[in-house]
Structure 1
Amino acid sequence: MLKQTIASPFKSMRKDGLKKNEIIYYLTLDRRWMNKDQAEKVIKIGLEEGLLTKEKDMLSPAFDASSVEIPIGFKPGSEILKRRDPVEEILGRIAEKNKAEISKVTAEMNELIRVNFDGHLSAAAASVILARKYGVPFEEYLSELKKQAKVT
């Protein structure tokens, strides 16, 4: 949904780059999807997650916005303003791939940390080990995982 929200102003205005205020105008006044603070947060999250790139005062999608389908009547929900924990995302992907309960995958991660590393491994690192074990992509979360590993 975040990708659709970010792609929408670029598709609508048929431009590859927009100024921050143009995106905020589109999201707040044109579509009335959110207020100014929320629109600024969408831009911030987009930049942090690598969905937007910034060159001088221009923002551009880091993906082909024209290929993103935006359904008629689309309106982003408030969940796009909440960043999900990358460890949770990875564990969810593992559970989905293996058709397992998230609690079982979490238990496996906790056992890996406790038994194999005597509790000296972060959840971020353990989630990457499990992702590799099960062949689940995790690369898009690496920068955020590295930040978490330094903090925890």
Structure 2
Amino acid sequence: MSLKITVAAPFKQMHRAEMDRNQFVFFLALDRKWMNVDQANAVLRLAASSGLVEIENGKVFPAFDVASVSIPLGFRPGPEIFEAPDPCHDLVRRIADATGREENAVIAEMNGVIDGEFDGHLRAGAAAVLLARRYNVTWSDLLPAIREGVLEER
């Protein structure tokens, strides 16, 4: 959540619906002094890969309603914003919540699906989707990120 707040901050503070890539980095690194320039560029790349922003022709556009994000007084992003979200883990958490089981039990069941039903020829993300379908857990919003993760594992 703090990545979303970090991304929303420049747009809210500068009252802009779009900004140049350099303005975005300048705000995070030099204006607020939250991080260095390399880290600010990393935040921008992570936000783009997470679907929080779109970058076209050097312009940055938020892909969410910036007005709906509340920036706490004294907010300063922590190191957790650099951690890439794991859609497979998010889906495991959803399955665990829906079935009332521990995440470890869901992971064990995933491993059973991978080994028992597919002889080890199935990726973890695909196994998580299969389990989500079995338990009627919503997963379609995570599909693009899961698909990307499965393709990167090749």
State the TM-score, normalized to the length of structure 2: 0.89
Instruction: State which drifts further: 79-88 or 127-136.
Output: 127-136
RMSD, aligned CA: 1.6
Corresponding residue number in structure 2 for 1:145: 146
Partner residue in 1 for 2:40:
39
Q: Which residue of 1 aligns with 2:92?
A: 91
Say if 2:106 is the partner of 1:105.
Answer: yes
Instruction: Mark the CA change 1:90 to 1:33 in structure 2 (over 3 Å): closer, same or farther.
Output: same
Partner Cα distance (1:78, 1:104) in 2: 30
Q: Residue 66 in 1 paired to residue 67 in 2?
A: yes
In 2: Cα distance, 1:67 partner to 1:94 partner: 28
> Shift in Å at residue 134 of structure 1?
3.1
1:27 corresponding residue in structure 2: 28
Query: 5+ residue gaps in structure 2?
Result: none
1:117-136 CA-to-partner distances (Å, cap 9, x unmatched) read 22221111011112233343
Q: CA separation in 1, counterparts of 2:139 and 2:73? A: 31
93-102 or 25-34, larger mean C-alpha shift:
93-102
5 and 136 in structure 1: CA distance in 2 versus 1, 3 angstrom threshold: farther
Query: What is the TM-score when the length of structure 1 is the normalising length?
Result: 0.90
Pairs aligned (count)? 152
